[in-house]
Amino acid sequence: MVISDNNTTALGIMGGTFDPVHYGHLRAALEVTELFKLDQLKLIPCARPSHRNQPQTPDYMRADMLALAIKHYANLSLDTRELHRPGKSYTVDTLVSLREELPEHPLLLFIGTDAFNQLTSWYQWQRLFDYAHIIVLARPNTELPTLNAFCQQRLAQQRDELSQHLAGLLYLQTITQLDISATAIRQLIAQGKNPGFLLPDAVIEYIHQHRLYQSL
């Protein structure tokens, strides 16, 4: 495992389709930024997911909505590298490029329990740990995911351990997860219902302006 000199702050990374971004993503992003004392957390919209259908909304619109949502949050930033990369949007390729840019910083990849439960089907999933730590965001008072031997060996007990290494550890972090999903928001809008208070008003205005999610 690569040792960090402990002087460089970690970079946070959160990927997703963000179709559209909502308060579930945003609250989690803000909370981990504070918990892990991050100067920056990058929200990285996925262009061509390998595990699910292609998002119905064009890449640039999903990125626009993210930009609107985080406009007033200096520690959160939009990173569009996956939108500019041809082929499937494999997370390992994203981590390789971030590691090239930031050879000295611990990288923290945050994923929800639902995504973590599919981890072993991700492209070259074990290589993810060569470039980043993985932090699984679990709901308080819910069952934590079962870990295979590979993950069990990497499990850190203390949050502080992550800053002592550049990559290679797994950590389970409970957060106040909000029960909001992009799927439910798309359904509400298609039914003509108001998605207010599930996502930022600026994003709702953008959705109305561009007549997004009118049908499923």
Binding-site ranges for ligand ATP (CB under 6 A): 16-19, 24-25, 28, 111-112, 114-115, 137, 177-178, 180-183
CA distances from 91 to 28, 55, 157 (A): 19, 17, 25
Would you say 98 or 137 has its CB closer to ligand ATP?
137
At its nearest, how many Å lie between ligand ATP and the CB of residue 186? 7
Q: How far is 179 from 130, CA to CA, in rounded Å?
A: 32
Would you say 8 or 88 has its CB closer to ligand ATP?
88
At its nearest, how many Å lie between ligand ATP and the CB of residue 181? 4
Query: For the chain, what is the largest distance between any 2 Cα atoms, rounded to a whole number of angstroms?
Result: 53
At its nearest, how many Å lie between ligand ATP and the CB of residue 46? 8
Would you say 7 or 53 has its CB closer to ligand ATP?
53
- Provide the β-strand partners of residue 134: 109, 170
At its nearest, how many Å lie between ligand ATP and the CB of residue 11? 17
C-beta neighbour count of 28 within 10 angstroms: 20
For tokens 């819910």, name the residue.
142
